[in-house]
Every structure is written in structure tokens, then in C-alpha cells.
């Protein structure tokens, strides 16, 4: 069996507003869910996740918000602490495009019964 060490990427909704001291940086994402370029504001940082009985895991997190206000503030988490914020966002967007594809593939097909 071949084991690939891929970074884990997940998201969670921010339950509280970021601090007024949060330093936001603009980032243009080239393929935003297949709709072309999209500029978002990000605040990236690194942290360490601790869990009793397990070794510490370095985490890269990216706080992301939409200057247009079309989605709520999200936190993207990645176990690849060396990943650039643009890579984390690109991987997340690509992952959700694949999730939609798999969901559509699992959906039963409805063939047109009126065909001759």
C-alpha cells in the first residue's frame, strides 16, 4: 500500500469577530470556485495543536474574509506549516470542487422516460 503524506485542510466558522488589531492582507485567488479571480482579505499565522497523549502538531491557519461580504469569516487549518497562505486557500477551493463532483456522481441518474 502506498501512503502519501498530504496536508490535512479543513475549515471552521469564526464564532467571534477578529480583533480590531488584526492585520489583513489582500490576496487574489486565481480560480475561486471556477468563477475566475477573487480578491479576499487574509490574516495567516502558525500555531501548535496539543492533545493529551499525542505529539504536538504544527498548524498553519489562515483567517479569510470577503471584502464584498458574500461569505462569513472562515478559518482554514492546514497541517503543512510551511505552506504559503495562497497554497492553503488554493487547496481548500480545489478540495471543495472535488467534493461537489463526488456528490454529483453519487446522485442517482434520472433518465428521460419519454424517449422513443
CA distances from 82 to 37, 79, 87, 94, 105 (A): 24, 9, 10, 19, 34
Q: Strand (E) positions, 16-109? A: 25-29, 38-51, 54-65, 74-78
Q: How many domains does the chain have?
A: 1
35 lies in some domain: yes
The SS3 call for residue 50 is strand
112 lies in some domain: no
Q: Say whether pLDDT at 12 is over 50.
A: yes
Phi and psi, residue 12, nearest 5°:
-150, 150
Mean pLDDT, rounded, for 44-68: 88
Whole-prediction pTM: 0.66
The SS3 call for residue 26 is strand
User: What pLDDT does 85 receive?
Assistant: 92
64 lies in some domain: yes
pLDDT digits (tens, 9 = 90+) for 85-99: 999 988 888 776 666
30 lies in some domain: yes
Amino acid at each position: 500500500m502506498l501512503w502519501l503524506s498530504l496536508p490535512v485542510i479543513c475549515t471552521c466558522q469564526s464564532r467571534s469577530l477578529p480583533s480590531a488589531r488584526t492585520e489583513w492582507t489582500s490576496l487574489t485567488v486565481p480560480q475561486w470556485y471556477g468563477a475566475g479571480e477573487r480578491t479576499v482579505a487574509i490574516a495567516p499565522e502558525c500555531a501548535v495543536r496539543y492533545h493529551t497523549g499525542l505529539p504536538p502538531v504544527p498548524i498553519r491557519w489562515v483567517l479569510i474574509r470577503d471584502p464584498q461580504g458574500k461569505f462569513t469569516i472562515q478559518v482554514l487549518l492546514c497541517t503543512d506549516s510551511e505552506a504559503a497562505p495562497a497554497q492553503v486557500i488554493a487547496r481548500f477551493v480545489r478540495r471543495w470542487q472535488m467534493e461537489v463532483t463526488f456528490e454529483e456522481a453519487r446522485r442517482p441518474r434520472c433518465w428521460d422516460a419519454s424517449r422513443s
